[in-house]
């Protein structure tokens, strides 16, 4: 507490006892004011936290309420799904069929199509589609057009994807990259462009299955490149199509046990890439690198989720909710590990990546 010149003069005019008492009083009032200020500060701090918690709660409540508004007349809506032979596509086709939507399921093989038809209602129809072939896409588009008529196509789910060849990039060739990009990126783009007029007619939805590896790239080869591409394509498409009432959503799953994450197929792919690598690359990496790399794949396998409905429920939401999200992270690994990691500074991400992967024999 600071006294002005007038206060100091007044104090000097007082007798010793009077001055002492007053000084004590001033000390006490200073302490009182200090503690009032502290308590007030604590109160303001707590009130701010409370406000923040209430606002956050309100935001989530509103979001929850908004997101559970469902689209009506689902039984009259057509959804075209690619890659329905197995995995997410197969489960989604069955799930939407049960929900009452009209599912147009594209399979790569007749065997896959037959099996799916056996497990579903008569309303579900199948078509054979190879997304790397323009004539196959054109034929499938015509087939869809004949079914949906003037109603248009409510949903297009670009689910097709492959993951091999995967290995450190220097072991691979341009053709290895092209093989994945052809299916995962160019396939998605061509199917979308071909079916877009039908989706626009219905003011429907485009659902692109990306990956959490489209947010953070943790291994070499074309897979992460293709998924980054899907994210970029979907982002610009979303803005362009919003003018016409079409919504675009992205599904970003973590790791799940399906054919695409089959460890035997991965290991075979790594072995093949290693065999075709140049002598210089082999000397740089060394055999121990390959065996450790393959062992680490084996240890990862049991951690991959088997609950595919974590992904298909997100897909279903994009097609049945009035207000679907733009991005869906599916699986705990995606939500709690890879997505937060993608926001971290690069040096931290690199540290985790170096720590968890083997070092080449001649690493500096």
Ligand X SMILES: NC(=O)c1ccc[n+]([C@@H]2O[C@H](COP(=O)([O-])OP(=O)(O)OC[C@H]3O[C@@H](n4cnc5c(N)ncnc54)[C@H](OP(=O)(O)O)[C@@H]3O)[C@@H](O)[C@H]2O)c1
Instruction: Identify any residues that bridge with 157 across adjacent strands, giving them in sequence order.
Output: 81, 207
Q: CA 154, CA 162: separation in Å to the nearest integer?
A: 26
**x/- string (CB under 6 A) for ligand X, residues 127-166?**
--xxxx--------------------------xxxx----
Pairing state of beta strands 205-209 and 125-128? Answer: unpaired
- Closer of 152 and 187 to ligand X (Cβ): 187
Q: CA 95, CA 147: separation in Å to the nearest integer?
A: 20
In what helix (H) or strand (E) does residue 72 lie, and over which residues does it extend? none
Among 112, 204, 220, 229, binds ligand X (CB under 6 A): 112
**282 neighbors 224 (Cβ within 8 angstroms):** no
Q: CB of residue 206 vs ligand X: minimum separation in angstroms?
A: 14
Hey, CA dihedral for 50, 55, 56, 60, is it positive or negative? positive
- Closer of 236 and 259 to ligand X (Cβ): 259
- 223 belongs to the catalytic site: yes
Size, binding site for ligand X by CB under 6 A? 28
**165 neighbors 179 (Cβ within 8 angstroms):** yes
Candidates 38-46, 84-92, 172-180, 274-282 — which segment interacts with ligand X by CB under 6 A?
84-92
Residue numbers 179-238 binding ligand X by CB under 6 A: 183, 209, 211
Q: Which residues contact 247 (CB under 8 A, 6 or more apart)?
A: 204, 205, 206, 238, 241, 318, 324
- Closer of 132 and 313 to ligand X (Cβ): 132
Candidates 25-33, 55-63, 165-173, 253-261 — which segment interacts with ligand X by CB under 6 A?
253-261
276 binds ligand X (CB under 6 A): no
Catalytic residue among 59, 65, 78, 223: 223
Kindly state the DSSP code that residue 336 receives in the 8-state scheme.
I
Q: CB of residue 354 vs ligand X: minimum separation in angstroms?
A: 23
- Closer of 202 and 333 to ligand X (Cβ): 333
**x/- string (CB under 6 A) for ligand X, residues 88-107?**
xx------------------
Among 260, 277, 310, 321, binds ligand X (CB under 6 A): 260
Q: CB of residue 340 vs ligand X: minimum separation in angstroms?
A: 17
Here the tokens at position 274 are 């290693």
In what helix (H) or strand (E) does residue 73 lie, and over which residues does it extend? none
- Closer of 210 and 289 to ligand X (Cβ): 210
Q: Which residues contact 302 (CB under 8 A, 6 or more apart)?
A: none
**Bond before 273 cis per omega within 30 degrees:** no
Candidates 33-41, 81-89, 143-151, 233-241 — which segment interacts with ligand X by CB under 6 A?
81-89
Within 10 Å of residue 103's Cβ, how many Cβ atoms?
A: 28
DSSP notation for 287-310: HHHHHHHHHHHHHHGGGSB--THH
Candidates 124-132, 240-248, 271-279, 342-350 — which segment interacts with ligand X by CB under 6 A?
124-132
Q: CB of residue 233 vs ligand X: minimum separation in angstroms?
A: 13
109 binds ligand X (CB under 6 A): yes
Hey, CA dihedral for 92, 95, 96, 102, is it positive or negative? positive
Among 78, 228, 255, 289, binds ligand X (CB under 6 A): 255
Among 166, 258, 312, 320, binds ligand X (CB under 6 A): 258
Strand 327-330's sheet: what is its strand order?
125-128, 102-107, 78-81, 155-158, 205-209, 247-253, 327-330
- Hey, which residues are catalytic here? 223
Query: Which stretches of the chain bind ligand X, using CB under 6 A?
Result: 82-83, 85-89, 108-109, 112, 129-132, 159-162, 183, 209, 211, 253, 255-256, 258-261
């Amino acid at each position: 507490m600071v006294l002005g010149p007038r206060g100091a003069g007044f104090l000097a005019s007082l007798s010793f006892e009077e001055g002492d008492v007053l000084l004590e009083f001033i000390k006490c009032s200073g302490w009182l004011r200090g503690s009032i200020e502290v308590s007030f500060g604590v109160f303001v701090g707590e009130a701010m936290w409370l406000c923040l918690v209430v606002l956050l709660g309100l935001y989530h409540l509103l979001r929850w309420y908004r997101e559970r508004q469902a689209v009506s007349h689902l039984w009259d809506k057509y959804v075209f799904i690619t890659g329905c032979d197995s995995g997410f596509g197969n489960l989604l086709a069955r799930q939407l069929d049960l929900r009452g939507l009209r599912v147009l399921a594209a399979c790569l093989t007749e065997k896959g199509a037959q099996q799916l038809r056996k497990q579903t209602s008569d309303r579900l129809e199948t078509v054979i589609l190879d997304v790397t072939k323009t004539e196959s896409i054109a034929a499938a588009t015509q087939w869809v057009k004949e079914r949906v008529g003037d109603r248009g196509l409510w949903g297009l789910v670009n689910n097709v994807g492959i993951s091999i060849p995967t290995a450190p990039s220097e072991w691979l060739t341009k053709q290895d990259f092209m093989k994945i990009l052809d299916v995962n990126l160019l396939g998605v783009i061509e199917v979308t462009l071909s079916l877009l007029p039908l989706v626009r007619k219905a003011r429907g939805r485009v659902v692109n299955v990306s990956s959490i590896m489209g947010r953070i790239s943790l291994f070499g080869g074309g897979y992460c490149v293709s998924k980054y591409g899907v994210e970029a394509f979907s982002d610009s498409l979303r803005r362009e199509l919003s003018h016409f009432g079409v919504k675009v959503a992205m599904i970003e799953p973590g790791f799940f046990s399906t054919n695409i994450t089959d460890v035997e197929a991965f290991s075979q792919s790594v072995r093949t890439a290693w065999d075709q690598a140049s002598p210089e690359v082999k000397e740089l990496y060394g055999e121990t690198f390959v065996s450790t790399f393959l062992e680490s794949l084996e240890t990862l396998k049991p951690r991959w989720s088997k609950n595919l409905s974590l992904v298909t429920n997100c897909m279903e939401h994009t097609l049945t909710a009035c207000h679907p999200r733009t991005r869906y992270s599916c699986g705990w690994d995606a939500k709690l590990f890879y997505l937060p990691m993608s926001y971290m500074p690069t040096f931290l991400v690199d540290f985790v990546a170096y720590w968890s992967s083997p070092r080449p024999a001649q690493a500096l």
